[in-house]
């Protein structure tokens, strides 16, 4: 679904390699790609890149739309065959996630003083939250 949504703006057909490549190009071209599990690095990289154009940009916002509910992983509640099928059906989405994560981290690595900026962002978010 994610590959189709990013590549085509829809999710009504099984995605293919072309869709994955289109979705990847869109993520690489985005000003502010974000990935949930490295979202703070996404924020630091975006703020660093966009500050010259938007000097008052402040990405230190507390998380929103976050749930603390722990759900059992699919592997625990599905039969092995169903779980394997889920992995197959979502393989392109997992690949897109890996590509997006790599792009976020590539951008983060280019930020001067990235670790101190990340610490400051975390402090500002904690203070705001």
Q: What is the mean pLDDT of the chain?
A: 91
Rounded Cα distance between 108 and 40, Å, is 10
Looking at residue 122, its pLDDT comes to 95
Q: What is the pLDDT of residues 44-100, one digit of tens each?
A: 999 999 999 999 999 998 777 666 666 778 888 999 999 999 999 899 999 999 999
Rounded Cα distance between 23 and 8, Å, is 8
Task: Find the helix or strand (DSSP H, E) in which 98 lies.
Answer: helix 91-109
Domain locations in the chain as residue ranges? 2-128
In this structure, the chain runs to a length of 129
Distances (CA, A) of 128 to 5, 57, 68: 32, 16, 19
pTM of this structure:
0.85
Looking at residue 2, its pLDDT comes to 92
Other beta carbons within 10 angstroms of residue 68's beta carbon come to 4
């Amino acid at each position: 679904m994610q590959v189709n949504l990013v590549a085509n703006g829809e999710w009504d057909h099984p995605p293919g390699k072309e869709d994955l490549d289109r979705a990847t190009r869109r993520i690489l071209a985005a000003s502010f790609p974000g990935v949930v599990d490295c979202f703070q690095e996404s924020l630091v990289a975006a703020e660093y890149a966009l500050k010259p154009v938007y000097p008052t940009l402040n990405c230190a916002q507390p998380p929103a739309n976050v749930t603390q509910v722990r759900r059992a992983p699919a592997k625990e509640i599905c039969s092995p065959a169903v779980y394997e099928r889920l992995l197959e059906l979502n393989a392109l989405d997992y690949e897109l996630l890996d590509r997006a994560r790599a792009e976020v981290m590539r951008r983060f690595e280019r930020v001067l003083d990235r670790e101190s900026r990340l610490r400051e962002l975390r402090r500002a978010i904690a203070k705001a939250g």
